[in-house]
Structures are given as structure tokens and as C-alpha cells.
Amino acid sequence: MNIPLPVFVAIPLIAAFFLPILSGLGRKAKSFATLLANLATISLLVLAVLALGRSEDIQVYEIGKWSIPIGINMVLDGLSSLLLLAIGVVSTAAMLFSTRYMEQYTAKPKYLSLFMLMVAGMNGVVLSGDLFNLYVFLEIASIASYALVGFGCNNEELEAAFKYMVLGTIASVFVLFGIGLVYGNTGTLNMAYASKAINTVGLNPGLAFALALFVAGFGLKAALVPFHAWLPDAHPSAPAPISAMLSGVLIKTLGVYALTRMVFCIFGVSVTIGWLLVVLGLVSMVVGAFLAFGQWDFKRLLAYSSISQVGYVVLGLGLGATLLAQGHAAWASLAILGGLFHLVNHAVYKSLLFLTSGSVQMSTGTRQLKQMGGLAEKLPFTRTTCTIASASIAGIPPFSGFWSKLILVVAAVGAGLYWIAAIIVFVSLCTLIMYLKVQRYAFLGELPENLQQIKEHRGSMLVAMVLLAVLCSFMGLLVLVPYLRATVLTPAVDVLTDGLLYAVNVIGK
């Protein structure tokens, strides 16, 4: 089914403007606004699922009927629809969760508005077929996320928000600079035409500079080491559903997706950029994992683990780029499949983990693992969902994380890079150990005196967590069932393996 693409941006944008106005009308209107926000995210999810069943491989929407390159276009291809799906799932769950969770805070309407702005920005980034529009949507999502990180207005939250904002803005400036360089060298801002121009002329130093700026800028948004320093501050400071959004999809759409689009579809892959991504990915994986298992703050541990997991995704994509450039198409597509599948998996289980951490924090009032213990009895659902997510992220077989890691390892071994396979496996072991630590200190052991009376918060929070846990358990099917793989993952992989076809397809339409 073909869906008019601006809908994906319009729904959340309209919601963002009208929800605060509506909430001003009184108590009942407030809860109605929350309901509407939920409806908006759910409808986005439904649309994203419907978009999977579209008739053509690639769908181009020209805004205002201005044909490209004069007008602005939106492009929906396999990769975009994969990301839309991830955004839909995570934002639906996070919104459901915040319905109950955000009762703790004042100014819920503002929260809803910012949330919707962030969703609009992310959907826009994913769909944009124009470099400058990509930047605009990136800024919308980023600014909303800066504000959401500082939403609680406590000392740590403000500090984190400021640091995040400084680093994030510098990254945005890098990106804008890069876009300027691309425009200066190719004379167009349309991604398809830029791609065509770059690949007929070849890279000159100006474009290489632009590529470097993109890698640094988007790398910062994706929190790759050494650009990661804002993430462990920002993600734990945000309210739990926002942490889930940030770790689950924001770093992937603004960072990994944008970077991938640039490298594969516009600049074209080469061995150098491939290896650069591989190294960035590996360093992130190892550093993130080591930093994570020394943490005693539940959410900070999760945040560092996000760095490590994004490393997996980038490693998979970088490996794919390297192998593509060397001409090993089969292994390259396997590596890319692993990377993208891990991206989706990580979106689901990391957001679930952040939601469970929110549930724990709401019940116990603390994030410190050392002050918890024995919560398994008191918070049975939180415990179960957290265990499923942990098993998934650690790569215990029937759960989703195992399959994506397996594919990555197989791709590395198939390409003859045994040491990379060994590092992947090693980091996976570190991940296992850090989540065992969470289980051990938070959920097992002895219940402290002051937590004897706590209760689990149920209702919509529970629904959100169970939804994601079910997904975690069965997402392995995405790769195991041929039909699902052919609808969801393979189109996305094809977009990247034949990256330069993007220009041909878009211009041809």
C-alpha cells in the first residue's frame, strides 16, 4: 500500500502543536491529550507496518509537485521503512509507558509536545531525500531531545543537558558545514543528484573533507567512541521513556542511519571508509563494554552498553562496506544484514531495558544497584521482562540478540577476519557479565529493609514492557522466517549493497 509520505512527519508535528493547547483546557482534556498522543504513535506504527507492504521498491514523494532537483522530495525505500518500523515500535511503547510514568512530573503537556517533535524529527530524517532537509529534521529531533534530557531540572539533569547540547550542536555544525561543502562541489542538495555527481566526478579533497565532517558529526550523534562522552550523562538523566527513545532509536536514526545513507548511497563505499567504520565500531564495542560493567548506576550501565551495542551495528555496516569495496558481495550482504538486524534488535531490547529501569526507579526511588536487591519478589513483571531483554542483549539463543550477533560473527569468519569474530564474541561475553551483574544486584539476593513495602506500578507501563518483551522473544523470526525476512530485512540490505542504485531509482521515477 502506498502511503503519502509527509503523513509520517505531519501527524506528530500536528500533535506536537495541538496537544499543549488541548491540555490547557482542564483535567479531562489533559488525559484526552495523552490518549491522543498514544493514538498518534500507534497510528504511526500502523502506517510504518503498512508501508512495508508497498508495491514498489522505492517510493518518491515530491513536495508540492515540484519535480526534483528543483523541489524537495521524500524517499521511502527498504532502509527507511525498516527505521520507520523501529521508531514506530519504540515510540509506541515509550508513549504507553509515559502515560503512567510521567505522572511523577509536572508539565506533562510540554513533555508530550517535545516527544512528538522528536518523533517528527526522526521520521523526517529517515524519509528526507534532501540533504538540507535532513539537517533541519536532525535539528528538530536534537533540540527536542536536549530539552527532554533536562526535563527534570535537577542538578545532574541540567548538567547533562548542557553537555549534551554543546556536543550535539557542534556535531550539527559539522554536518551543516559538510552539507555546504557538498553543495559547493556538486551544486545540488538533492541526495540522488549529489550521489550521481559525486560518482561521476569522483572524490576531490573538498568532498573528502565533507565526508570526514559527516563521519564525525553523525558519529557524535551515534555516540561512537571517541565522540561518545555525552551519552552516558544524557541518557540516564532523561526520564525513563525518553532514555528508551534516545538509546533505542534516536542515536540510530540521527547517527547510524544518516551516516549509512551518506556512506553507502551518496559517497559510495571504499575500503578506507569501510575500515574506518570497522575500527570505530570495534573501539566503541570494547570501550563501551568495559565502561559498562564497572557501573553501579543502573541507567548509566545501560547507557554505556548502548555505546557498545551501536558499535556492533557500525561494525557490521563497516564490514559490509569494506567487503563490498573488495568485491565480496555475499559476505558483505551478510555483514550488513547482521548490522541492520542488530540495529532493530537493539532498538527493542535496549528500550525495554530502559523502561524496566524506569519501573525499578519509580518503585524503589533509586538507580543505584547497590541499594537494591531481591526485587524479583516485589516486581515480578519487571524482573521477567528485564531478564528477557538481558538474555536477548547478551545473546542467549532463542532470543533476538543471538541471531544478529551470530550473523555478524559468521560474516566476519566468512570474510576470514577471525580476530574481529573473536572480539565480537568477547564483547558479547562482557555484555553477558554486565547484565548478570544487573540481575544479581537488582533482582536477586536480599531485599533491603527500606524496600520491604514497595509495589510494582502496573497499568500502561506493564503493557509497554510486555509488548517489547514479546517482541524480544520472537524477533528472531524476522530472520528465520523467509517471508518476514524478505519483507522487512532484505529490502533494507539491498538498498545498501547496491547503494548507488539509489540515485538511479530516485531520478528515474
Partner 1 sequence: MADSVCNFLCITVFVPMVVGFALLFSPGRWKLLPKVLALLISALVFGLSIWIFTFDRYGFYWPVLQIGTLDLELVLLVQPLGKFILLFACGFGLLITVYSLKSRAGTDKSGLYYGSVLLTIGGSAGILLCDNLLFMLIFWEIVTASLYLLITTGGKNSNFAATKSFAMIGASDAAFLLGVLMLWALSGTLSISAISIQTDSALSIIAFLLLMTAAITKAGAMPLHTWLPTSGESAPTSVMALLPAAIDKLLGIYLLVLIVRNIFVLQPGALTIVLSVIGAATIIIAVMVAMVQHNLKRLLSYHAISQVGYMVLGIASATPIGIAGGVFHMLNHAIYKCCLFLCGGAVEQQTGTAELDRLGGLGKKMPLTFAACLIAALSISGIPPLNGFVSKWMIYQGLIEMGAQKAAPAAQLWPLWLVAAMFGSALTLASFVKLIHSIFLSRLPDDLKDIKETSAVQWIPMLLLAGLCVFFGIFYYVPVQKLIYPALNITATTTALGTWQSGLATVLIIVGILLGLGILLVGGLMAKKVRIVPTWYCGEVQDNEQMIIPGTHFYKTVSSMGGLRQLYKGQEKGYFDLYDQGGRLGFGLTAFLRWLHSGVLPMYLTWVTLGLLIILFILCDIW
Partner 2 sequence: MAYAWCFLLFMTGLYCAVVKKNMVKIVLGIIIMEYAVNIFLIMLGYRIGGVAPIVGKGELAGIDKVTSAFVNNCVDPLPQALVLTSIVISLGSLALMIALCIRTYERYGTFDITEIRRLRG
Which residue ranges make up the site for partner 2 (CB under 8 A)? Answer: 132, 135-136, 139, 143, 146-147, 150, 153-156, 158-163, 165-166, 169-170, 172-173, 176-177, 180, 183-184, 189, 232-233, 237, 294-295
Q: Is 486 in the site for partner 1 (CB under 8 A)?
A: no
Does 463 sit near partner 1 (CB under 8 A)? Answer: no
> Among the candidate windows 108-116, 168-176, 252-260, 317-325, which touches partner 1 by CB under 8 A?
168-176
The Cβ of residue 204 has, within 10 Å, a number of other Cβ atoms equal to 11
Closer to partner 1 by CB, 60 or 438: give it. 438
Q: How far is the CB of 253 from partner 2 (least distance, A)?
A: 18
Amino acid (one-letter) located at 33: A
Sequence-ordered list of residues with C-beta below 8 angstroms from that of 247, at least 6 positions apart, any chain: 235, 302, 303, 306, 350, 351, 354
Distance of closest approach, residue 164 Cβ to partner 1, in angstroms: 10
d(C-alpha 157, C-alpha 448), whole Å: 27
CB of 270 to partner 1, least distance (A): 8
Neighbours of 168 (CB within 10 A): 24
**Residue 312 partner contact from partner 1, partner 2, none using kind-dependent CB cut-offs of 5 to 8 Å:** none
Between CA 92 and CA 87 the distance in angstroms is 8
Task: Give the residue from 225, 44, 65 showing the smallest Cα distance to 126.
Answer: 44
User: Exactly one of 192, 407, 468, 478 binds partner 1 (CB under 8 A); which one?
Assistant: 407
* Residue 384 makes contact with partner 1 by CB under 8 A: yes
When asked if residue 294 is in the footprint of partner 1 (CB under 8 A), the reply is yes
Q: Which parts of 307-336 interact with partner 1 (CB under 8 A)?
A: 330-331, 333-334
DSSP-based three-state secondary structure for 297: strand
- Partner touching 29 among partner 1, partner 2, none, CB below 5 to 8 Å by kind: none
454 is a site residue for partner 1 (CB under 8 A) = no
For the bound state, the minimum distance from the C-beta of residue 294 to partner 1, rounded and expressed in Å, comes to: 3
* Site for partner 1 contains 445 (CB under 8 A): yes
Contact 310, 256 (CB under 8 A): yes
Interatomic CA distance for residues 476 and 208, integer angstroms: 39
Please report how close the Cβ of residue 193 comes to partner 2 at its closest, in angstroms: 13
Residues 214, 265: contact at Cβ < 8 Å?
no
| 122 burial level (CB within 10 Å; 0-12, 13-18, 19+) | buried
Pick from 92, 148, 36: which is nearest to 460 by CA?
Answer: 92
349 touches partner 1 (CB under 8 A)? no
* 183 touching partner 1, by CB under 8 A: no
Q: In angstroms, what CA-CA distances link 353 with 100, 187, 377, 390, 430?
A: 17, 45, 18, 8, 17
Maximum alpha-carbon separation in the chain: 70
**CB 98 to partner 2: min, Å:** 21
Q: Does 446 bind partner 1 (CB under 8 A)?
A: yes
Q: What would the x/- binding string for partner 1 be over residues 78 to 117, using CB under 8 A? A: ----------------------------------------
Is the Cβ of residue 347 or residue 394 nearer to partner 1 in the bound state?
394
- Residue 170 one-letter amino acid: I
Q: Examine residue 176 and tell whether it contacts partner 1 (CB under 8 A).
A: no
206 Cβ neighbours under 8 A, 6+ residues apart: 181, 184, 185
The site partner of 337 among partner 1, partner 2, none (C-beta below 5 to 8 Å per kind) is partner 1
What 3-state class would DSSP assign to 267? helix
Of 24, 398, 459, 508, the one binding partner 1 (CB under 8 A) is: 398
